[in-house]
Amino acid sequence: MSDMTLFATALLTASLTLAPGSDTTVVVAAPAQAGAAAPAIAPADLAPFLGEWTLALAGPNGPATMDLSVKTEKDKPAAELTSEAMPKQAITDFSMAQKTLVMGYSFTWEGNAVNAVISMTPAADGPMKAQIDFAGGAYVMNGTATKKDKDKK
């Protein structure tokens, strides 16, 4: 079984086994309400995140590498996440939290909807910090985002 399959299995198990009345606190990143427009991200705020990225992340089940493409389409942010274990994921929700780009999406794993939030934060020194939070904290991966060479100038 691949590391990503183990990670996805642990994610699903964690998201399904949280018992009512347990001491576990779950924070859910809710998508924007239907019809409610998220504040537009200024082009200057989005600029450091545009391009092709490699996310090198680690979670409780070990490391994983994913590719993230961040761009603009019709003056709005757009992104796609790909990995060996899962099909391409279109990222649809974008916001800024201070200097952190926050991107949200949902996917189906074994018949269950799973929300995910990707955060990218520029570091003063070194690579950009990255995090993916699956199922409202049920499984969190932390690491770095490195811009691919073809986009470095």
What is the model's pLDDT at position 77?
95
Task: List average pLDDT for each run of 10 residues in the chain, which is 153 residues long.
Answer: 40 36 35 50 91 96 96 92 90 94 92 95 91 96 91 48
- Condensed to tens digits (0 to 9), the pLDDT of residues 99-128 reads 999 999 998 888 999 999 999 999 988 889
pTM here is 0.73
What is the model's pLDDT at position 37?
53
Domain map of the chain by residue range?
3-12+42-151
CATH of domain 3-12+42-151: 2.40.128
Q: What is the CA radius of gyration of the chain?
A: 16
What phi and psi values does residue 113 have, to the nearest 5 degrees? -75, 135
